[in-house]
Amino acid sequence: MAQRSIPATMATQHPDNAGAPYWEKDGDGFVSTQEEIQECTSSFRDLGCQEFMWDWEGKYVDEAVVDKLFHTYYDYFRRHQLGRDVFLTFRIPNIWQEAGYSLARAMMAIHTAESFARDLKFHTPPLFEVILPMTKSAENIIHIQRTFSRLSTFTGKLFRDPCYFSYLRVLPLLERVEDLAAPRKLLDRYLMLHRREYRSKPEYLRLHIARSDPALNSGLVPAVVAGKIALSEYHRFGRDHGIRVFPAIGVGTLPFRGGLSPERIDDFLKEHSGIRTVYIQSAFRYDFPFPVVKRAIARLNRELPKTPVKLMTNAEVAEARRICRLFTPHYRRTVIAVAPIINQIANQVPARRERKLHVGLFGYSRSVGKQRLPRAIPFTAALYSLGVPPELIGTGRGLRELQKTGINLERHYRNFRNDIKFAGRYLNKENLAHLAAHHRGWRHVQEDVQYLEQYLGTELGPRNKSDRLHHHFASNVLFLWQEGLPVTNEIIQSGKLRRSLG
């Protein structure tokens, strides 16, 4: 296992696609639980993704995934061994935020998959890593590992099936700006606990960086900058302790959720040098032409493992943390103020997966009260569909405050101009003016736009025919919503134009 290859591209089940998958027969864009087996295999076989995330967090899931993969696609997985050549990784539920029964089922699925692969004389274990979302402490990580070890020993005795696999690698996913900006305490404590539990240090660590929920909670700039701090601190931790570290990042295609699309590979590699695994979400795979997607994935597989590691100095980390502190309040105050409208539009964003009710990250932080928001994808979709991209919210005012300090944002966020110009193409100023006339929160967004235009030296708004058509759909969304009429079709059509639902 020490010489395993680290996947560069991880296809995920994030439901951000506006259009239908290339393999879908009915073409409705909704991926059912039953279709996810086909989706997984196609991501490996047809697109060249090296890993697939099987998501147990907040959604319904096929627990017999390995059995069905091996039975339905036996010849493929006989030639491409799961756990050696291609990888399936569960994102397990966080039992500190969600009921624990799903975790028990996920762990049993991992355990029984090992037995089944062994019986078929396939590579074992086929599954050996899990992603732990919303990781907040080292104790969270070690608890999952200890629980799996005990479960493996117990089930081996109970069912008289020798236990060949009892060590589960847990990949922590940090999702709050505060945690991403200061991950070292968690990592140092985890190393101590791991040595105490297993009498050794981990051979390697795949440490994950969230992008959607940090942006949802704190805004675009803090999400990007905190992620850069985490990337640097992950690598520094590995160097300090002689542990191989392979950072991963959970990015969508729109800038607010990460800005990785088949058309912006250069920008992504420039911004996130040192990342070793990227999420390839549904919009990336299904909202762009198939040949373009396949070439982009091949390029990421080829180039991502070679991007140089860049460590931030202590002074740079201090500057980056200050940026996060300056930008976050402007974003949060505005989003809390306009949340009721966002929620109403988000309720009409079409479902793309069979999700359960959302736990609601936004309510966890006392500093923003108990205001609930949708998940990041419908949140982003709602605002883009209204013609007010979330990248703009709080960003102009934060930038104006930052400039008084003399800190250069673009030293820490290299694609800032490109990202704002991209998002700005979908701004509908007429809609924003109408909303601002009725609510002060939207007037603050107008301030953001004015200052961003001054900073960039250009006006934000549509740039081409497709952008102008998007502007038209946004106008329709606002009008229909005010009339109490459905807007789902307009949300889908505008999503197809920007090549992502949210």
Same domain, 302 and 340: no
Residue 43's closest CA among 294, 216, 254, 250? Answer: 294
Cis-peptide, bond into residue 125, ω within 30° of zero = yes
Same domain, 293 and 362: no
Same domain, 252 and 395: no
**Within-domain flag for 349:** yes
**Within-domain flag for 296:** yes
Same domain, 353 and 204: no
**Within-domain flag for 312:** no
pLDDT tens per residue, range 162-202: 768 899 999 999 999 999 999 999 999 999 999 999 999 99
CATH number for the domain spanning 47: value is 3.20.20.60
User: Total domain count for the chain?
Assistant: 2
Across 32-52, average pLDDT? 97
pLDDT tens per residue, range 394-426: 999 999 999 999 999 999 999 999 999 999 999
Same domain, 269 and 346: no
Across 294-301, average pLDDT? 98
**Within-domain flag for 273:** yes
pLDDT tens per residue, range 245-263: 999 999 999 999 999 999 9
Residue 280's closest CA among 312, 306, 314, 304? Answer: 304
Same domain, 301 and 330: no
The helix/strand/coil state of 397 is helix
**Within-domain flag for 318:** no
Same domain, 272 and 370: no
Q: What are the angstrom distances between the C-alpha of 436 and each of 431, 443, 447, 471?
A: 8, 5, 11, 17
Across 99-122, average pLDDT? 89
Last residue of a domain, one of 306, 333, 358: 306
Tell me 121's DSSP state.
T
Q: Which residue has the tokens 């309720």?
A: 347
Same domain, 79 and 116: yes
Same domain, 300 and 386: no
Structural domain containing residue 232 = 9-306
Whether the pTM exceeds 0.85: the reply is: yes
DSSP letter for each residue of 35-81: THHHHHHHIIIII--SEEEEE-SSB---TTHHHHHHHHTHHHHHHS-
Query: Is a pLDDT exceeding 60 seen at residue 362?
Result: no
For residue 424, the model assigns a pLDDT of 98
Last residue of a domain, one of 250, 279, 306: 306
Number of Cβ atoms within 10 Å of the Cβ of 204 = 15
**Within-domain flag for 269:** yes
Reported as a pLDDT band with limits 50, 70 and 90, residue 61 is: confident
Share of the chain above pLDDT 70, in %: 95
Q: Any bridge partners for residue 11, and if so which?
A: 52, 280
Reported as a pLDDT band with limits 50, 70 and 90, residue 354 is: confident
Same domain, 244 and 361: no
How far is 6 from 21, CA to CA, in rounded Å? Answer: 26
Same domain, 370 and 295: no
Reported as a pLDDT band with limits 50, 70 and 90, residue 99 is: low
Q: Name every residue whose Cβ is closer than 8 Å to that of residue 257 and which is 6 or more positions away in sequence.
A: 16, 211, 212, 215, 251, 376, 377, 380, 502
**Within-domain flag for 119:** yes
Contact 306, 273 (CB under 8 A): no
How far is 360 from 147, CA to CA, in rounded Å? Answer: 26
Residue spans of alpha helices (H) in 44-183: 65-72, 74-79, 101-119, 138-158, 177-180
**Within-domain flag for 359:** yes
Same domain, 350 and 271: no
Residue 54's closest CA among 80, 31, 73? Answer: 31
Q: Name every residue whose Cβ is closer than 8 Å to that of residue 404 and which is 6 or more positions away in sequence.
A: none
